Structure 1
Amino acid sequence: MMPSFLTRFRHPAQVVAAGFGLAIAIGTVLLSLPIATTDRAPADWVVALFTATSAVCVTGLVIVDTESHWSVFGEVVIAVLVQVGGLGIMTMATLFTLLVSGRLGLRARIAAQAETKTLSMSDVRRVVRKVVLFSLGCEVVAAVVLTARFVVGYGESLGRAAYLGAFHAVTAFNNAGFALWPDNLMRFVADPWICLTIAVAVIVGGLGFPVVFELARSWRRPRKWSVLTRVTVGVSVTLLVLGTLVFLVTEWRNPRTLGALDDPGKLLAAFFTAVMPRSAGFNTLDISQMYPSSWLATDVLMFIGGGSAGTAGGLKVTTFGLLAFVVWAEVRGESRVNIGHRRLPEATQRQAVTITVLGVTLVAVSTYVLLALTPHGLDQVLFEVVAAFGTAGLSTGITPSLGVAGHLLLTVLMFIGRLGPLTMGSALALNQRSRHYELPEERVIVG
């Protein structure tokens, strides 16, 4: 018989939440040790908790400067937490995706999923192995390129360059956004080797394991792509192009952002800025000096986020894309929602709507609370809240000044934002029930 304490975690979503909570607790303890700070004084518990949550939830929001406040031990702890969080999200999200789609074997062999159709243990091991190898391979490639650039272009010693390359490869692929410079990556705004390497790592990590492997198998045959891949790729490319154009148009003449760069530099910086709201959190432009219209555009991109079963956060481009198809079908008066040659189940439509409404509600309530707790304006507060919920890690610069209550609110938002869409989506998909009767239909005026 299963022990009583295990029966409380029989749903996979509960297992994931408990696992991430444990990782955050361990990270908080490690970052609270005197050896974790540069001055060898124990870090404040709020700082340690906030940083550990930001790392495990691969967000990148900070209330202290990473390089000056944390020692090498502290930085390594942060990198390990980011790696654990990124791999955990990719692994569990991929398993949930395959579980929901029913693409793999069905055997009741995992106690945590005893009440649902579940993956076999052999399938789980194979998927986990592929996810780990894929993640580590991408990080190694990015680390090698960054290391070479730091040595050749900036005169760093090989050891220091390798450390910088490895750290930023891990935080980039896992969409975490931690950087070891006080200005994040602003000093590299015109360096395509640094910016494009990190941007590509962010995009690949944010697409999601199932999408990347399907593209690897059949990138020349788009007609054979699954709905997941079509929506993820289509919406991601659209958002990257539109985001780049919006930032170019809005910030072109802003002397504090793009205005100080030449034309190629402006294009590179705008593209990099459009990639980062996928939930990466790096910045080569001073976010605090952007126009409010750019903040709003960034809010939208951060809220949408990246692909499912990837390291990116947010609502997910798949959810956003599915809602767009639902709206389009309704506008055209069609009774069914079709994507390509496939029909979208009504249950999936309701799940997308549910996750979106819950996300909007959480952001609205959190923004109200933070406005009441701090003296900052709506633009900045909304930006911080969306960045935390979307695990984007971008900031207008007010995060350190939000106070203990504000920091705890953002900590909760990062945890919910990281696990909420994943656990809510899996819970809805795995908890479908059939009703053996129908109630009489009644029309209600909408609008």
Structure 2
Amino acid sequence: MRVRQAVPRSARPRWARLRGSVLLGRFQHPAQVVVTGFGLAILAGTLALSLPAASTDPEPVRFLDALFTATSAVCLTGLVTVHTEAHWSVFGEIVIMCLMQVGGLGLMTLATLFALLLSGRIGLRARLATQTETKTLGAADVRHVVLRVVAFSAVCETIVAVVLTARLVLGYGEPFGRAVYLGAFHSVSAFNNAGFALWHDSLVRFAGDEWMILSICAATMVGGLGFPVWFELARNWRRPRTWSMLTRITLLTSSVLLAGGTVVLTAAEWGNPRTLGAMAVPDRWLAGLTAAVMPRSGGFNSIDVSQMRSESWLVTDVLMFIGGGSAGTAGGIKVTTFGLLAFVLWAEMRGEPHVNIGYRRVAEATQRQAMAIVLLAVGLVVGATFVLLAMTPHSLDQVLFETVSAFATVGLSTGITDDLPPAGHVLLVVLMFVGRTGPLTLATALALRDRARRYELPEERPIVG
């Protein structure tokens, strides 16, 4: 058996020492690599969209429009300052589609896949970085997980693209080439929960078309639930008692939010002649289902959001803030966080000493992490809403809707995105970036190292409430 001898650091070539000190020495936590990777993807997308070939407008592309669109695509949001189908050329649309795919799979997942294809080997630091992005539970099987994530995404996007292409050809008379292009673009956008559409009214023209609407809704929900949930269901779908806590919380919370959101939004808009009121009864329920699915980070709309009632905006705000599943393409604080805090509240109301879900007890560190995520998210949304209110004449419900949509990387809008000043667009860019990378991920990336406390202080219980 051959034994490899370690090469002293001083004996390594100068480029190897520089690479180790610059690329690895400055990133003490994998989360820093993830945040930096997303930032570089946004920069590359901004430069590509700034090219004259990316726009149909003879005037040069504004840097802020290119930055906003690139951030929205990489962060899977869908908010736009210019109309996608009218402003960007085919080259620009392809750039946006590639950015959505990169954002959906995760830069660390793609980087790991490329490393496997080139060398067949992967280092521990790269494993940890990919684990941070995909939120897998172990670093030993990252290679297997990455390949399954890529294969799962490709299969789902292909199926949806085929269905959309066939429907556009047979039902709407689109030329085959154009239908394939539209099907592929909207399949990538839907599965990755990006919300970009090549129709100026999003899905409003298809509000009563079950094939188009249900296909895009299904892709949105599949991508938004999260890869770990689907992988576990594929293994143990016949044995619910063996499901992990993540799968239990995700499925239960998602089902409750989907059913409740459909009923509440349909009832709220039932008599509104500007949204559901002018539709047939079956189409109303289909549009109500879409209105409940898309705030989970989908970003498409089959009714005019700007014409919805204030109470519907509020319900949509809540759904957007919660978002979708962990390790998926959805944004928000995640249904796992929301569901976990619901169980914490239930245990506290019952006087239970511990929080139990199924046959497992929730660790106290996990409860603190969930609380930290919610508090950070609330603080960011409130602060950004205050700033936007100070710089725009729009109402509170409109500004809050826009802020939550950006932070939760949803992409729905009441129509005020174009009217915001440049400073407002920059603020939304920051919100989209933070919403995609995650408040805790960003905070961890800025920290140089974990701090361990070597002593414990005496316990005291202040009055709460």
TM-score range normalised by the length of the shorter chain: over 0.9
Which residue in the other structure is 2:211 paired with?
193
Which residue in the other structure is 2:305 paired with?
287
Is the counterpart of residue 158 in structure 1 residue 189 in structure 2?
no
Once the two structures are superposed, residues 236-255 of structure 1 have per-residue CA deviations (whole angstroms, 9 ceiling, x without a partner) of: 01000000001111000000
Provide the C-alpha distance between the structure 1 equivalents of 2:319 and 2:408, rounded to a whole number of angstroms.
9
Query: Quick one: structure 1 residues 431 and 308, their matched pair in 2 at CA, closer, same or farther if it must change by over 3 Å?
Result: farther
Is the counterpart of residue 110 in structure 1 residue 144 in structure 2?
no
Once the two structures are superposed, residues 269-291 of structure 1 have per-residue CA deviations (whole angstroms, 9 ceiling, x without a partner) of: 00011000111100000000000
Q: CA deviation at 1:6?
A: 2.9
CA contact (8 A) 1:366 1:385 kept: yes
Q: CA deviation at 1:8?
A: 1.4
CA contact (8 A) 2:28 2:449 kept: no
Q: CA deviation at 1:424?
A: 5.4
SS in 2 for 1:443: coil
Provide the C-alpha distance between the structure 2 equivalents of 1:144 and 1:296, rounded to a whole number of angstroms.
36
Q: 1:324 aligns with which of 320, 327, 342?
A: 342
Is the counterpart of residue 412 in structure 1 residue 430 in structure 2?
yes
Provide the C-alpha distance between the structure 2 equivalents of 1:13 and 1:156, rounded to a whole number of angstroms.
44
Q: Please, which moves more after superposition, 409-418 or 214-223?
A: 214-223
Query: Quick one: structure 1 residues 89 and 224, their matched pair in 2 at CA, closer, same or farther if it must change by over 3 Å?
Result: farther
Q: CA deviation at 1:217?
A: 1.6
SS in 2 for 1:43: coil
Provide the C-alpha distance between the structure 2 equivalents of 1:287 and 1:415, rounded to a whole number of angstroms.
24
Q: Which amino acid aligns with 1:327?
A: L
Provide the C-alpha distance between the structure 2 equivalents of 1:168 and 1:120, rounded to a whole number of angstroms.
33
Is the counterpart of residue 300 in structure 1 residue 318 in structure 2?
yes
Q: CA deviation at 1:434?
A: 6.2
CA contact (8 A) 2:224 2:329 kept: yes
Query: Quick one: structure 1 residues 435 and 257, their matched pair in 2 at CA, closer, same or farther if it must change by over 3 Å?
Result: same
Q: CA deviation at 1:121?
A: 7.7
Q: For residues 39-118 of structure 1, what are the structure 2 equivalents within 5 Å?
A: 39-88=57-106, 91=109, 109-110=124-125, 113=128
Provide the C-alpha distance between the structure 2 equivalents of 1:180 and 1:111, rounded to a whole number of angstroms.
36
TM-score (norm 1): 0.92
Which residue in the other structure is 1:257 paired with?
275
Is the counterpart of residue 180 in structure 1 residue 195 in structure 2?
no
Q: CA deviation at 1:153?
A: 0.4
- For structure 1, list consecutive stretches of 5 or more residues without a partner in the other structure: 96-106
- For structure 2, list consecutive stretches of 5 or more residues without a partner in the other structure: 1-16, 114-121
Provide the C-alpha distance between the structure 1 equivalents of 2:440 and 2:221, rounded to a whole number of angstroms.
19
Q: Which amino acid aligns with 2:125?
A: I
> What is the identity percentage for the equivalent residue pairs of Structure 1 and Structure 2?
66
Query: Quick one: structure 1 residues 151 and 269, their matched pair in 2 at CA, closer, same or farther if it must change by over 3 Å?
Result: same
CA contact (8 A) 2:32 2:445 kept: no
Provide the C-alpha distance between the structure 2 equivalents of 1:441 and 1:121, rounded to a whole number of angstroms.
36
Q: 2:241 aligns with which of 198, 223, 228?
A: 223
CA contact (8 A) 1:90 1:208 kept: no
CA contact (8 A) 2:257 2:319 kept: yes
Return structure 1 stretches of 4+ with deviation > 6 angstroms.
116-122, 425-428, 430-434
Q: CA deviation at 1:127?
A: 1.4
Which residue in the other structure is 1:104 paired with?
none
* Aligned-residue CA RMSD (Å): 2.5
CA contact (8 A) 1:207 1:307 kept: yes
Q: CA deviation at 1:414?
A: 0.2
Q: Which amino acid aligns with 2:283?
A: G
Q: 1:365 aligns with which of 383, 388, 394?
A: 383
Number of aligned residues: 433
Provide the C-alpha distance between the structure 2 equivalents of 1:336 and 1:122, rounded to a whole number of angstroms.
31
Q: 2:461 aligns with which of 419, 443, 447?
A: 443
Provide the C-alpha distance between the structure 2 equivalents of 1:76 and 1:356, rounded to a whole number of angstroms.
35
Q: CA deviation at 1:113?
A: 4.7
Which residue in the other structure is 2:188 paired with?
170
Larger radius of gyration: 2
CA contact (8 A) 1:308 1:318 kept: yes
Provide the C-alpha distance between the structure 1 equivalents of 2:346 and 2:198, rounded to a whole number of angstroms.
45
